[in-house]
């Protein structure tokens, strides 16, 4: 959620008669005012949307079109009546749908030697603590991105945006993000509400072992866990449908 405001007196607006004008000015200005928030969203481990703009991959008009997808609160005045304020919520799914047209997904890799596994209803990867960064010294908190990759502990690719079929079941997010407290409900799946509906009664729980990338958006999971996913057509279908939830520290969630 982003909060924006502007000073009424600096804009030459006097209350009470100028309130309607203030609301109109805020409505016209908010796409440009939201640009900094959209710029900061991670596209993948190597780029933020700011970088896409710098490379000419997206224009200011397209950025403003993304801002127009946000849900807006009703404008209101600050307690001292000096500022007109409004809040905007722009979902990652709305942004992802802008970059991912509906298309047929590539098949996730099938192991040469599959293992026996059960059919899960979703995949939950717990990465809410600082994790070792592959190829570097130190650790980092995993941060959300539109298109994270998942690797196994041998650095074989398990999941990327090409294995996700955008628009399937009206879903445009290849992975969702949430906090730890949302998977600790007192029932067999640990889930309630929309997450329970989306991930089903028997999700596979996995702990991430590390992170990878210029920005720590990508996850490394144990090779045995990767085999539990990739050895079953049902479980590979979970990747195709984006039935993946990544648990992060609350401090990095939007």
Model pLDDT, residue 75? 65
What are residue 160's phi and psi, to 5 degrees? -145, 180
Please state the separation of Cα 205 from the chain's center in Å. 19
Strand 176-178 versus strand 244-247 pairing type: parallel
For residue 67, give every residue at least 6 positions away whose Cβ sits within 8 Å of its Cβ, in sequence order, or none: 30, 31, 34, 35, 38, 88, 90
Cross-strand partners of 245: 124, 176
Model pLDDT, residue 4? 60
Q: Per residue in 148-171, pLDDT tens?
A: 999 999 999 999 999 999 888 888
Encoding tokens for residue 244? 């993946």
Low-confidence ranges of the chain (pLDDT < 50): none
Q: Kindly tell me the burial class for residue 154, based on how many C-beta atoms sit within 10 Å of its own C-beta (0-12, 13-18, 19 or more).
A: exposed
What are residue 162's phi and psi, to 5 degrees? -70, -20
Model pLDDT, residue 74? 66
Model pLDDT, residue 250? 94
**Closest by Cα among 147, 171, 182, 199 to 93:** 171
User: What is the number of residues in the chain?
Assistant: 254
Helix residue ranges, H only, the chain: 19-33, 35-39, 49-54, 60-67, 92-99, 193-199, 223-230, 233-241
Task: For Cα atoms 130, 135, 139, give the angle at the middle one, nearest 5 degrees.
Answer: 15
Q: Kindly tell me the burial class for residue 113, based on how many C-beta atoms sit within 10 Å of its own C-beta (0-12, 13-18, 19 or more).
A: exposed
Model pLDDT, residue 77? 67
How far is residue 30's CA from residue 26's CA, in Å, rounded to a whole number? 6
Q: How many helices (H) and strands (E) does the chain have?
A: 8, 16
What are residue 110's phi and psi, to 5 degrees? -95, 125
Model pLDDT, residue 230? 97
């Amino acid at each position: 959620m982003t909060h924006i405001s502007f000073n009424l007196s600096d804009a030459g607006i006097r209350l009470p008669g100028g309130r309607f004008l203030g609301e109109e000015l805020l409505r016209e200005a908010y796409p440009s005012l939201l640009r900094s928030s959209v710029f900061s969203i991670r596209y993948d481990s190597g780029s933020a949307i700011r970088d896409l703009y710098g490379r000419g991959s997206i224009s200011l008009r397209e950025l403003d079109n993304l801002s127009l997808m946000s849900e807006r609160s009703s404008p209101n005045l600050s307690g001292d009546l000096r500022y007109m304020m409004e809040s905007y919520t722009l979902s990652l799914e709305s942004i992802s749908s802008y970059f991912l047209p509906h298309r047929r997904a590539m098949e996730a890799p099938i192991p040469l030697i599959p293992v026996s596994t059960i059919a899960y209803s979703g995949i939950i990867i717990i990465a809410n603590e600082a994790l070792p960064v592959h190829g570097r010294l130190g650790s980092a908190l995993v941060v959300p991105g539109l298109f994270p990759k998942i690797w196994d502990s041998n650095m074989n690719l398990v999941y990327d945006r090409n294995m996700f079929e955008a628009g399937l079941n009206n879903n445009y997010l290849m992975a969702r993000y949430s906090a730890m407290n949302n998977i600790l409900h007192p029932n067999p799946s640990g889930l309630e509400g929309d997450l329970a509906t989306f991930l089903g009664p028997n999700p596979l729980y996995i702990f991430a072992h590390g992170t990878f990338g210029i920005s720590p958006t990508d996850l490394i999971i144990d090779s045995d866990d990767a085999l539990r996913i990739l050895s079953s057509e049902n479980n590979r279908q979970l990747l195709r449908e984006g039935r993946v939830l990544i648990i992060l520290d609350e401090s990095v969630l939007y």
